[in-house]
Amino acid sequence: EEAKSSPAAAYRSPLVSRYASKEMAYNFSDRKKFTTWRKLWIYLAKAEKSLGLPITEAQIQEMESHQKDIDFAMAAEEERKLRHDVMAHVHTFAHCCPTAAPIIHLGATSCYVGDNTDLIVLRDGFDILLPKLARVIDRLANFAETYADLPTLGFTHYQPAQLTTVGKRACLWLQDLTMDIRNLQRARDDLRFRGVKGTTGTQASFLQLFQGDHDKVEELDRLVTEMASFQKSYLVTGQTYSRKVDVDCLSSLASLGATVHKVSCRSWRHIEMLPPCGHSRQCASACRSRNPMRSEPDPLQTASVQWLERTLDDSANRRISLAESFLTADIILSTLQNISEGLVVYPKVIERHIRQELPFMATENIIMAVVKAGGNRQDCHEKIRVLSQEAAAVVKQEGGDNDLLARVQKDPYFAPILGQLDAILEPKTFIGRAPQQVARFLSEEVRPLLEPYRSKMDVKIELEL
């Protein structure tokens, strides 16, 4: 029995125990949640007092002096008796604030603390994620700049195609990540406060408290919203704010998850590039591709079936889906920053892969050179076609190297252009405007996005997996 009661005997989410940062874990902790509830009760009392309700400064000071000293054991016992978490914490708060007990939660419904706290936590969660995402973008931008003109095989439909550069490929990841940082910032900035709306969102209880004074009810909503550092509150709610808000927030995280999955090392073909390795275990962990967000079904379902002013299926899955989506995004970004700060490129491996494919890609250039030297295009095309098939057979049927270039060099037909072959097969002549695209993309679209996060850019990530 003693073993069963120990902290190690209960399940703990590995997102908290192993992966996510301390700041994100705290953001979704019980302590953050319930101290925020008490903070919201203090905001409400202060606003109600300023608008003329009979609340004393002594009552407010008593509440403020006990904002953080929560008796969690008492709250758990109260919840066991009352079967209601908010009222359990009202009673627990009232126990240590006997003078303020009559005015705690005055006129409010449970969602005054529940939903408003969720909105604060969502906002704070975005504030944790955004600098992390900015650092990932910054590290990959530096990487793209470094390798802007290093040729590498391009692929379409998983088949070798025209050459690109390592830096240009990184910019494809960066383009998606810049969309993600804009999406997260927009979702964060679109968040409003629920404010004080009452049991079904009509503010009837507050209108009664202020004896029918609509202006005071609106001012109460504005004051509490301002104290919580939100610029606006939702003008209409049911008992809860619309769960479309949750969908909007978690959709931006799901989209980020799709980007990270694409960037992950499963797509780093042929061992041309590897994540950093501090030691074998970290390397294995850092290289492992993490799954995209698991957040979509729950919030979408909750939003679609939240009929009338509130339904019974609103609470439980939100306790999981909101927290675990942000916790997952947190460790994903920490891992990706760790990887992007130490990506190792293997130019010789890249060069070997290019040599295997480039002769096939260069056939049109060879034909043009022969024509310029006085040859017939149709005859040259047929010669190249036959030699290419022979070389392809060596590669595909015998597992050998691409020997097309050697076949061209041995064929007397191509003697007039042999001196040009090195120039014709120079990889950098096949990369188009990739280096110029990298430079313009980084200067015009990536670097400006990072300016708001410049002061937080030097943070290093040390993974402890």
* Six token digits for residue 441: 């993309």
Q: Which residues are catalytic?
A: 157, 285
Q: How far is CA 167 from the centre of its chain?
A: 22
* Six token digits for residue 458: 């030097």
Residues 80, 245: Cα–Cα separation, whole Å:
31
Residues 143, 171: Cα–Cα separation, whole Å:
9
Residues 166, 350: Cα–Cα separation, whole Å:
9
- Helix (H) and strand (E) counts for the chain? 21, 4
The total of other beta-carbon atoms located within 10 Å of residue 16's CB is 17
Using alpha carbons, list the distances in angstroms from residue 118 to 34, 194, 244, 325, 388: 11, 10, 14, 14, 64
Residues 292, 176: Cα–Cα separation, whole Å:
14
- In terms of Cα–Cα distance, which of 402, 435, 418 is closest to 163? 435
Residue 432 CB-half CA count within 13 A? 13
Q: CA angle 99-101-106, nearest 5°?
A: 130
Report H helices in 341-453.
347-361, 363-372, 377-397, 404-410, 421-424, 434-441, 447-450
Residues 187, 244: Cα–Cα separation, whole Å:
11
Q: What are the DSSP calls for 256-323, one per residue?
A: HHHHHHHHSGGGSGGGSEE---SSHHHHHHHHSPPP----SHHHHHHHHT--TT--GGGSHHHHHHHH
SS3 state of residue 191: coil
Rg over alpha carbons for the chain, rounded to the nearest Å, is 31
